Structure 1
Amino acid sequence: MASTRPKVTWKTLVMLLVGILAFILYLFVLRVDIPEIVEKIQSTNMPLYLLAASLIFVEMFLYAMAWRSLLGFLSVKLSVLKSYLYVWYGNFIDIIIPAESISGEISRAYLIAREHGNAVSGKVAASLVTHRLIGMSVGAATIGLGTIMLLMAPVNPLIFNLSIFVTGATIFFIILLAILCVKIDWTLKIIDRLIKIFEFIGGGRWKSRLAKAREDAFKIVGTFHNSMKEYAHAPKVVLTSMLLSAFSWFSYLAICHIVFLALGYSKPSLNMISIIFVTQSITTAVKSIPIGVPFEVGLPEITMTTLYVVLGIPFDVSATATILTRILSLWLKFFVGFAIQQWVEISAIKASLKAAKTDKG
């Protein structure tokens, strides 16, 4: 099986710079006092900020354990350490390949298939899809709760309408994905039509390969749907994963709140919590749009800053909080993920070389 190691090309770096420049241009257009932002960053309460940084590792651990609990139920054995490393690996792929969590999920599926073989692919796919459904449900619940909390005081109609739209869209995709999980015939028809498209493009040159791909895909889909049925009859397993996913998400929301505290900015607790709930849920939904910008730079920062401002936080504080939050949620995760990705791949190469020597010996 070929390596999935990502290649950072000049195009990736160019798009990274474009995203950063877009956010800087946004700040200049709205006449934000850049020196004041720099001053606020310099005066940040570092012990609190380091606490927020440490919670990044807690967030990722809980997220990994939520996924591992689903895998374990289907008898796919993965140690706590490996599940944690694979989630970091997948998150790194997510950052540099603009396809939201799909790219990260594909990389996690690859890593397990490399270790356990293709026979478990259907089970792994089921665990990843269920994990995604749970994450979307937790996000929808969060934005709904945040909106209800905001309604206790006069709220900007734009925010209210946007919250309703994002919640509705999320629920729609949850239902659509759930239907595809239940209706095996629909999934098989989609795969069959995709293969026919490739057959047409190839003009018969790939006939044998596509026939093998169809056969393998149908086997995986069969295992996938059987696994989804098992989850449907195991509410305790799904609930455990849901609780761990919720704790992971709330760990991230706590990071956002601590960043404001580190800046010395405070509002009534209930109001601040509702602002963070709504802002981060909407920003996460925006990040899920695969617009082709590696590193997810530019659009999320603009969205986050704008929402904070609309919800009553001063512009300079909003921009500073956004920058500090993204340093942790993007750049810290990027560098840690890069180190882990390299370590995992190097370890795999060493293991394969050792196995080759053993076979020769």
Structure 2
Amino acid sequence: MTGVLSAYRALVARGELRPDCDQEAVATHLDRLATALATPPPGRLARLFGARPAPVRGAYVWGGVGRGKSMLMDLFFRHAEGVTKRRVHFHAFMLEVHARIARQRTADPGDPIPPVAAGLAADSRLLCLDEMQVTNVADAMILSRLFDGLFGAGMTIVTTSNRAPAELYKDGLNRELFLPFIALLETRLDVLRLDGPVDYRLERMAGLPVYHVPNGPKTTAAMAELFFRLTDFPVEDRAHVPTAELALPSGRTLHVPKSLKGVAVFSYKKLIEGPHGAEDYLAIAQAYHTVFLVGVPVMGPERRNAAARFVAFVDALYDWRVKLVIGADAPPEGLYPEGDGSFEFARTVSRLHEMQSAAYMAEGHGIRAHA
């Protein structure tokens, strides 16, 4: 069996990764965790007397965008052997949890959280959650009891996040009710910081434009190249890029046509001209560090409502320092040259130019919103 640390060092030796002492430290910790999980479970006689596998302490790996958190968790997941396991994006996991809660309430009017936690723990002993971030009160209010049930059932949890546990759900509604979850994470998981000086994802974007004009095959190819470079998704499997349903505070969900490793792809036609607004755009900005918007047209006076939504969309991404990759029929100053609100649109033009700058690209996701 090749361990996590050996696999990491092999990637460095082949030149696929550069040496990074912070990454190696996390890989070393995850290697020990994988070894602990591979310990054989109790024998048949022991199980008859109720013996369970000893709980293995999990990990919470956090740090800025592009530091290699997801890459290391993927290595760990591949090399965690002899254990039932599951890897899932945190948002997808919470959508599943809410669906299970709804079904449980239909079947039994009692407290749904314990049976839901028991069901999840019965499915896998190891749960890897990518990109934990808590942005709505519906998730915040159930997480402490849910995770307490998962830990109590012997589940090992490894998660990644852009934020330290204490920074989760910062400034959220009724945050004092969320604090027990933070304490639970800090008590039951080893908190590992991965925040070295190199943003590897940003390096992958170096030298590639993020604003493409005009729309057409050349722009489509350039944007596709950048998407697959950022996500490491095999180009030959492009028809199977994962989708997502993003939960909104109002209880609605927003369909994300392509969602992978903190990168989302939307079409202008559906996201800007469709029935969406500030709530949707804020949720996108909080959930994704990079957003692709394809097919942006020149917006004439007849598209004043769409232009206003486009302004709200750019504002949300700008405030959360989201990287925006656009395919458009005109440069920023030509997108909405006249019509109601065209004077105010000038600020959006300025922001679109700033969002292409090296200084903006170097900022961490969410840094302005939580400064």
- TM-score per shorter chain, which class? under 0.3
Query: Is the helix fraction higher in 1 or 2?
Result: 1
TM-score normalized by structure 2? 0.21
Larger proportion of strand: 2
Relative contact order (C-alpha < 8 Å, sep 6+): which is higher?
1
Report the TM-score when normalising by structure 1.
Answer: 0.22
